[in-house]
Amino acid sequence: MGNAAFGERPATELARILRNIADDVDDHCLQYVGDAVFAIDINGNSVGKLEIIEDGRVPKMNGVENQASDQQLNVDPADKYQEMRNENWADSNISDPY
Protein backbone atom coordinates (compact mmCIF):
# COMPACT_ATOMS: atom_id res chain seq x y z
CA MET A 1 0.00 0.00 0.00
CA GLY A 2 2.98 2.27 -0.39
CA ASN A 3 2.58 3.22 -4.05
CA ALA A 4 1.08 6.41 -5.45
CA ALA A 5 -2.40 4.95 -6.00
CA PHE A 6 -2.97 4.75 -2.26
CA GLY A 7 -2.03 8.41 -1.73
CA GLU A 8 -3.58 10.23 1.18
CA ARG A 9 -6.52 7.82 1.56
CA PRO A 10 -5.09 4.29 1.50
CA ALA A 11 -8.19 2.73 3.08
CA THR A 12 -10.39 4.09 0.28
CA GLU A 13 -8.15 2.58 -2.41
CA LEU A 14 -7.92 -0.72 -0.54
CA ALA A 15 -11.71 -0.86 -0.27
CA ARG A 16 -12.05 -0.16 -4.02
CA ILE A 17 -9.59 -2.96 -4.84
CA LEU A 18 -11.37 -5.45 -2.55
CA ARG A 19 -14.75 -4.60 -4.09
CA ASN A 20 -13.29 -5.19 -7.57
CA ILE A 21 -11.85 -8.53 -6.47
CA ALA A 22 -15.24 -9.57 -5.10
CA ASP A 23 -16.92 -8.55 -8.37
CA ASP A 24 -14.32 -10.48 -10.40
CA VAL A 25 -14.81 -13.62 -8.29
CA ASP A 26 -18.56 -13.39 -8.86
CA ASP A 27 -18.39 -12.42 -12.55
CA HIS A 28 -15.91 -15.17 -13.46
CA CYS A 29 -17.41 -17.81 -11.12
CA LEU A 30 -14.10 -18.65 -9.46
CA GLN A 31 -14.47 -21.98 -7.72
CA TYR A 32 -11.76 -24.39 -8.83
CA VAL A 33 -8.16 -24.92 -7.77
CA GLY A 34 -5.99 -22.63 -9.89
CA ASP A 35 -8.72 -20.06 -10.56
CA ALA A 36 -7.36 -16.59 -9.79
CA VAL A 37 -8.01 -12.88 -10.02
CA PHE A 38 -5.54 -10.04 -9.70
CA ALA A 39 -5.81 -6.99 -7.48
CA ILE A 40 -5.25 -3.91 -9.65
CA ASP A 41 -4.87 -0.44 -8.20
CA ILE A 42 -6.43 2.71 -9.71
CA ASN A 43 -3.23 3.31 -11.72
CA GLY A 44 -3.38 -0.14 -13.31
CA ASN A 45 -0.62 -1.73 -11.23
CA SER A 46 -0.99 -5.31 -9.99
CA VAL A 47 -0.84 -5.16 -6.20
CA GLY A 48 -1.94 -8.68 -5.31
CA LYS A 49 -3.53 -11.92 -6.40
CA LEU A 50 -6.32 -14.10 -5.05
CA GLU A 51 -5.92 -17.73 -6.09
CA ILE A 52 -7.79 -20.87 -5.05
CA ILE A 53 -5.05 -23.24 -3.94
CA GLU A 54 -7.00 -26.01 -2.23
CA ASP A 55 -10.29 -27.75 -2.91
CA GLY A 56 -11.66 -28.48 0.54
CA ARG A 57 -15.15 -28.63 1.85
CA VAL A 58 -15.86 -26.55 4.92
CA PRO A 59 -17.90 -28.37 7.58
CA LYS A 60 -20.78 -26.64 9.31
CA MET A 61 -21.36 -26.51 13.03
CA ASN A 62 -24.34 -24.83 14.63
CA GLY A 63 -25.28 -23.37 11.25
CA VAL A 64 -21.98 -21.50 10.93
CA GLU A 65 -19.21 -22.39 8.52
CA ASN A 66 -15.97 -23.20 10.29
CA GLN A 67 -12.37 -23.60 9.29
CA ALA A 68 -11.30 -26.55 7.14
CA SER A 69 -11.61 -29.87 8.95
CA ASP A 70 -7.90 -30.68 8.56
CA GLN A 71 -6.79 -27.43 10.20
CA GLN A 72 -5.07 -27.94 13.54
CA LEU A 73 -4.98 -25.53 16.45
CA ASN A 74 -1.77 -23.58 16.96
CA VAL A 75 -0.67 -24.01 13.33
CA ASP A 76 0.65 -20.84 11.72
CA PRO A 77 -1.49 -20.26 8.57
CA ALA A 78 1.62 -19.10 6.71
CA ASP A 79 3.30 -22.45 7.43
CA LYS A 80 0.21 -24.35 6.23
CA TYR A 81 0.06 -22.21 3.07
CA GLN A 82 3.75 -22.78 2.30
CA GLU A 83 3.33 -26.52 2.87
CA MET A 84 0.45 -26.63 0.36
CA ARG A 85 2.40 -24.56 -2.19
CA ASN A 86 5.40 -26.88 -1.86
CA GLU A 87 3.18 -29.91 -2.49
CA ASN A 88 1.44 -28.30 -5.47
CA TRP A 89 4.61 -26.95 -7.13
CA ALA A 90 6.63 -30.12 -6.56
CA ASP A 91 4.47 -31.94 -9.12
CA SER A 92 4.43 -29.08 -11.61
CA ASN A 93 6.75 -27.77 -14.30
CA ILE A 94 5.33 -24.27 -13.87
CA SER A 95 7.50 -21.73 -12.08
CA ASP A 96 6.00 -19.45 -9.45
CA PRO A 97 6.08 -15.86 -10.82
CA TYR A 98 6.02 -14.41 -7.29
Kindly report the average pLDDT of the chain as a whole number.
Answer: 75
Phi, psi of 46 (to 5 degrees): -75, 125
Q: How confident is the model at residue 72 (pLDDT cuts 50, 70, 90)?
A: very low
Pairing of strands 60-61, 46-51: unpaired
Domain membership of residue 17 (yes or no) is: yes
Domain membership of residue 36 (yes or no) is: yes
User: Would you say residue 78 has pLDDT above 80?
Assistant: no
Domain membership of residue 43 (yes or no) is: yes
Residue 43 belongs to what domain range?
Answer: 4-52
pTM for the complete prediction?
0.54
Per the structure, the count of domains in the chain is 1
pLDDT score of 8 = 87
* Cβ 36 vs Cβ 28: under 8 Å: no
pLDDT score of 54 = 84
Domain membership of residue 74 (yes or no) is: no
Domain membership of residue 94 (yes or no) is: no
Domain membership of residue 33 (yes or no) is: yes
Q: How confident is the model at residue 27 (pLDDT cuts 50, 70, 90)?
A: very high
* Cβ 52 vs Cβ 64: under 8 Å: no
User: Would you say residue 95 has pLDDT above 60?
Assistant: no
pLDDT in tens, 45-58: 999 999 998 877 65
Phi, psi of 9 (to 5 degrees): -125, 70
Range 3-10 average pLDDT: 88
Domain membership of residue 83 (yes or no) is: no
Spatial distance between the Cα atoms of 26 and 40, rounded to a whole number of angstroms: 16
Of 60, 82, 80, 81, give the one whose Cα is nearest residue 69.
60
